[in-house]
Structure 1
């Protein structure tokens, strides 16, 4: 069975939800600890949402130096699928696995709501079970979710089709070009500010629109 590691940092909130999403997608979730020095033979990694190390300095800035991140960065370089959700997205940017940065919401308040997204890129390890232009709804909850980057960085992401998802309706946090998620050039590393792990079954949340991120990774690994 495919094994997907979910890293727990001090302050992680959504690691349990991510493990549940992995299980519902049909894989075996493996709990990884921020102080681990190896990935335990997993096939993919999820960096979950929360407030790693209390978001001191800035979001993800300390987590980037956790021992486990040396292994995640190396594995991502070898092509392992890595998904960063919310705080995990921030950690990916701090680790330079993804470009740009996440800053405080432009309205300076925390936002928590069901959020419409449009899937832009379906050629990544985490989005291939969607169709281009598909509109989905997943929860969003962040205080520092505004994606920004230098003009040439944003131009490169747009020109290379590396925007994974955009916000629909009113922009919830001031992200440039309504960007909700991006990928690296190889398509194996994806950062997403909204929370697909909170939309994996009809009983809880707005539906199961988020499950496709996790089933996509399984299909990528067996393709």
Structure 2
């Protein structure tokens, strides 16, 4: 690892949260480059030289077919081997909102070389059957993502129409929890069990974020990059004075772990 890790933020048609994500990573101390998918495909060695790959939010390719599916398949066919080697070599991958959907379609939550048939989860339409946009609360769970401070409850906005974690079988929730892959859950402001609207999409087990078994690949539906300054919170004038938004802690933890 290096004292100042390099982070690549991937963009393509429909990406719309890339610049906020770059800012969050730079505030957390990473050397950050915003890179188009075509540029990375032309020079995959740039991934090998980095320590962090981030797939930001948006509506890649208009979310046609299903959210994140086209980009997930494109990455599998254009950079699948390079991404698998990157993760196996100790690289970190973060997928935010549409980026989480891409990671699920790519199969990285199961493992760097997982086959599509091994997928136990999908991100599908919210239970409300509508786009959900509001502030919610997350709790960092006991998981393989040791760079997340366990037990912390923090506010963050969501904005998605297909964010519900659906699992293949009833036993998969327990298996993922036991394996330390449930990294983040929706909770109430005081850390209690969340129903709608605190859990905005009806996810199994109130799951907001999942990681791979190594803890180096993390996907989450909420947008931590939209809460990196105190002024991002809609009620910031009523809150105690603080130096940064709560979402920045996730990026600081990621950059520290990759250093």
TM-score by length of 1: 0.92
The aligned counterpart of 1:164 is 183
Residue 97 of structure 1: how far off its partner (Å): 0.5
Contact 1:2 1:43 in 2 (8 A): yes
| RMSD between superposed Cα atoms in Å | 1.7
Q: 2:25 aligns with which of 22, 30, 33?
A: 22
Residue 72 of structure 1: how far off its partner (Å): 2.8
Q: Give the unaligned 5+ runs of structure 2.
A: 111-120, 189-194, 235-243
Residue 79 of structure 1: how far off its partner (Å): 2.4
Residue 42 of structure 1: how far off its partner (Å): 1.6
Q: Give the unaligned 5+ runs of structure 1.
A: none
The aligned counterpart of 1:80 is 91
Residue 164 of structure 1: how far off its partner (Å): 0.6
Report which of the two structures shows the higher radius of gyration computed on alpha carbons: 2
Q: 1:111 aligns with which of 128, 132, 151?
A: 132
> Which structure dedicates a bigger proportion of its chain to helix?
2
Q: Equivalences for 1:36-115 in 2 at 5 Å?
A: 36-37=40-41, 38=44, 40=46, 41-64=49-72, 65-66=74-75, 67-68=78-79, 70-99=81-110, 100-115=121-136
Cα displacement string for residues 92-130 of structure 1 (whole angstroms, at most 9, x for unaligned residues)? 000011151100001011111111011103642xx6252
Q: Alignment partner of 2:171: what SS?
A: helix
Q: 1:189 aligns with which of 208, 217, 235?
A: 217
Q: Alignment partner of 1:203: what SS?
A: helix
Contact 1:4 1:46 in 2 (8 A): yes
Partners of 1:95 and 1:42 in 2: how far apart? 20
The aligned counterpart of 1:221 is 258
Contact 2:22 2:33 in 1 (8 A): yes
Give the 3 Å change call, closer, same or farther, for CA 136–39 of structure 1 in structure 2. farther
Q: Alignment partner of 2:54: what SS?
A: strand
Partners of 1:138 and 1:81 in 2: how far apart? 22
Contact 2:144 2:180 in 1 (8 A): no
Give the 3 Å change call, closer, same or farther, for CA 140–184 of structure 1 in structure 2. same
Residue 9 of structure 1: how far off its partner (Å): 1.7
TM-score by length of 2: 0.79
Residue 34 of structure 1: how far off its partner (Å): 1.4
Aligned residues: 219
Contact 1:32 1:39 in 2 (8 A): no
